[in-house]
Homo-oligomer: A and B are copies of this chain.
Amino acid sequence: MNERELIERIRSSAGRTPLVLGIGDDCAIFRPRAGEDLLFTTDQMIEGAHFTRSLPAEAAGERALARSLSDIAAMGGEPRLCTVALAVPGNQARWIERFFTGLLRLAKRTGTALAGGDLARSEKIYCDVMVCGAVPRGQALRRDGARPGDAIFVSGRLGKSWTRPIRPRLALGVALRGRATSCIDLSDGLSLDLHRLCAASGAAAEINRVPVAPQSTLERALHGGEDYELLFTLPPHGMPPRGSWRIGTIVRGAPGAVNFHGRPLPPRGYDHFTRRP
């Protein structure tokens, strides 16, 4: 199977999309709706760093898209389209097909059109998924709006296994528009992501209760990555969405400082550049 045949197969399985022009030209054409801001995010998934070949190809494809969709959820957006760059070793047309089967299944479920991509060869599997989402003008959730007195929540138990499928919290993100004062997705661990939210907001945090996933540990819930839950803040008397857990309060203090049960909690989550997983 050559590149053209493979792309044709992916194109036909992508189905009908709301794009003006989909896969097959130099660019895809997308017509934005009036009154919307667009959100852009991109995430890499690299064999050996973010996954191993023990992960089935369909699950790898789904996961590659889900990680970027989680960023769209964290901004309160609805996904509109994605582009997918994929490099694989040797003659792995079947692996690529199954990767796209998994990716496109999640894309259809979430209304994300496949707008284009790029296929190449490499020694290890490498992929990069860019997602463009939309939000009513001025209503995107950001990480810099938390204020002292705000209550801090997470959308689920933390420290989950990275081998489970990711369920991007898109519906919750939409529901938090106009309600949450700040929001971020938990991709690199609670301690690091809460530190980032507080640093951006120029505030500090006191947390005292963290919901731990079954068969996990408090250590993993505090510092493990790849949870893909939302971490968000509500004004002091804001009504939390069902299923969310209050973990603490935003306080005055050194920007980015986080205390857990009164003791400093260092940001020990995953830094992609200084540490290996």
Query: Which chain A residues have a beta carbon within 8 Å of chain B's beta carbons?
Result: 1-4, 6, 20-21, 24-32, 34, 36-44, 46, 48-50, 71-72, 74-75, 77, 81, 83-85, 87, 93, 115-124, 126, 128, 130, 132-133, 135, 137, 140, 142-144, 184-185, 200, 271-274, 276
> Which B-chain residue is minimally distant from A199 (CB atoms)?
B4
For this complex, 19 residue pairs linking A to B, each with C-beta atoms less than 8 Å apart, are A2-B273, A3-B272, A20-B37, A21-B142, A25-B200, A27-B71, A27-B140, A30-B39, A30-B40, A31-B38, A34-B34, A40-B132, A41-B83, A42-B117, A42-B128, A42-B130, A49-B87, A49-B122, A118-B128
Known A-B contacts A2-B271, A39-B29, A87-B46; the reply to A200 vs B24 at CB < 8 A is: yes
Asked if A85 meets B271 with Cβ closer than 8 Å, knowing A29-B37, A74-B26, A121-B49, the reply is: no
Which of B3, B30, B130 contacts A271, CB < 8 Å?
Answer: B3
Known contacts A2-B273, A32-B32, A83-B130, A27 near B44 by CB under 8 Å: no
